[in-house]
Amino acid sequence: MSRQRALVTGGAGFLGSHLCDALLGEGWSVVVVDNLLTGRRANLAHLQNESGFEFVEKDICEPFDVGKVDFVFHFASPASPVDYHLHGIPTLKVGSLGTFHALDVAHKYGAKYLVSSTSECYGDPLEHPQKETYWGNVNPIGPRSVYDEAKRFTEAVTMAYRRYHKVDTRIVRIFNTYGPRMQLNDGRVVPNFMKQAMLGEPITVYGDGRQTRSFCYVSDEIDGFMRLAKSAEPLPVNIGNPNEFTILECAQMVLKVTGSKSQIRYEPLPQDDPKQRRPDITKARQLLEWEPKIDLETGLRRSLDYFQQAVSEEASVR
């Protein structure tokens, strides 16, 4: 039997590259399409000589065709606040035009399809924790709307291709994920705190630090994607770690695992920063028998080497 072939859009990014590893590990061949807007070749360097792995540098906002595939994993999109603020219009374009093009590939080849959506679809939620049935509280015109609304539109297009073109779709709503291959300067909590702690700089906490986040280690997140891909669930499924930490607790945990003596510095809260974010993962537990296994301290310890190396590399190019 010939190998099943998967397309991963955004495969040079943080999550996409780990997904490629998991797919290749399960015997798939993989073609990545990525324009390297926020991703890096280095994330895929270890796969260069892997049989059944291809990389195509291309912007998916233009129509594209990489030949027959059996599964489309659509992960292309700037994801961190720093990136989507910098690339607001490309973010809206990849969520809209890029999603049409990824779905067109799935439609053309009768491939299954899974798209990465986000907890940002819930905005600054009025329900806590967030179930998939909650429709969200999103500011459609605020600075974060380039991302939040792009992702809500992505979900709408996906459901439309399912209804009108019978594409076999899945939607994962990803909550904060961290681990090796994250960009060091992408403004997210874990890389920010790791870098500041490793350099002995003050750790920046926005507001009073009592806003909460839940952090999922990347291997747990990818396990959730793989299980969802194998299921037939058409409606969104939250994949994230429900253990909630205040930002201050997270800062203290980073200080503990790095052994840093950095101080904590408080700065004003950015506009529309959600106060609470925690997934309700009842659906994933029941449907996929999925449960995150890595707690925050373990995940941070597993990420130490990567962040240490990233901090040293950055220092050496200065």
Q: Interacting stretch for ligand NAD, rule CB under 6 A, among 59-67, 104-112, 223-231, 306-314? A: 59-67
Least Cβ distance, residue 100 to ligand NAD (angstroms): 12
Answer yes or no whether residue 73 interacts with ligand NAD by CB under 6 A: no
Kindly indicate which of the ranges 33-41, 48-56, 230-238, 282-290 contains the residues binding ligand NAD, using the contact rule CB under 6 A: 33-41
Report, in Å, the least distance between residue 24 CB and ligand NAD. Answer: 17
Comparing CB distances to ligand NAD, the nearer of 35 and 196 is: 35
User: Does 191 interact with ligand NAD (rule: CB under 6 A)?
Assistant: no
Least Å distance, CB 136 to ligand NAD, is 14
- Cβ distance to ligand NAD smaller for residue 37 or 198: 37
> Would you call 306 a catalytic residue per the annotation?
no
CB-wise, 189 or 197, nearer to ligand NAD? Answer: 189
Q: What is the dihedral of CA 150, 155, 158, 164, to 10 degrees?
A: -110
Task: Please tell me whether residue 98 binds ligand NAD under the rule CB under 6 A.
Answer: yes
Give residues 126-165 in contact with ligand NAD (rule: CB under 6 A). Answer: none
76 lies in the binding site for ligand NAD (CB under 6 A)? yes
The count of chain residues that interact with ligand NAD, using the rule CB under 6 A, is: 30
Q: Can residue 123 be called a binding residue for ligand NAD (CB under 6 A)?
A: no
Among 8, 29, 77, 194, binds ligand NAD (CB under 6 A): 77
Does 118 contact ligand NAD by CB under 6 A?
Answer: yes
- HEC letters along the chain: CCCCEEEEECCCCHHHHHHHHHHHHCCCEEEEEECCCCCCHHHHHHHCCCCCEEEEECCCCCCCCCCCCCEEEECCCCCCHHHHHHCHHHHHHHHHHHHHHHHHHHHHHCCEEEEEEEHHHHECCCCCCECCCCCCECCCCCCCHHHHHHHHHHHHHHHHHHHHHCCCEEEEEECCEECCCCCCCCCCHHHHHHHHHHHCCCEEEECCCCCEEECEEHHHHHHHHHHHHHCCCCCCEEECCCCEEEHHHHHHHHHHHHCCCCCEEEECCCCCCCCCCCECCHHHHHHHCCCCCCCHHHHHHHHHHHHHHHHHHHHHHC
| Active-site hit among 84, 122, 147, 161 | 147
Any long-range contacts for 130-138 (C-beta under 8 Å, 24+ apart)?
130/238, 130/277, 130/278, 130/279, 130/280, 131/238, 131/280, 131/282, 131/283, 132/173, 132/235, 132/236, 132/237, 132/238, 132/280, 132/283
Query: Binding ligand NAD by CB under 6 A: which of 6, 20, 60, 72?
Result: 60
Select 94 or 254, whichever has its Cβ closest to ligand NAD: 94
We find the least distance from the C-beta atom of residue 3 to ligand NAD, in angstroms, to be 24
Q: State the minimum distance, in angstroms, from the CB of residue 206 to ligand NAD.
A: 18
Per CB under 6 A, 299 contacts ligand NAD: no
Q: Is 242 in the site for ligand NAD (CB under 6 A)?
A: no
Out of 7, 8, 12, 237, the only residue in the binding site for ligand NAD (CB under 6 A) is 12
**Residue closest to 229 by CA, chosen among 91, 110, 70:** 70
Q: Let me know: does 172 contact 223? Beta carbons within 8 Å.
A: no
Residue 15 touches ligand NAD, criterion: CB under 6 A: yes
Q: Write out the residues near ligand NAD by the rule CB under 6 A.
A: 9-10, 12-16, 33-39, 59-61, 75-79, 83, 94, 98, 116, 118, 174, 176-177
Question: Which residues are catalytic, by number?
Answer: 147
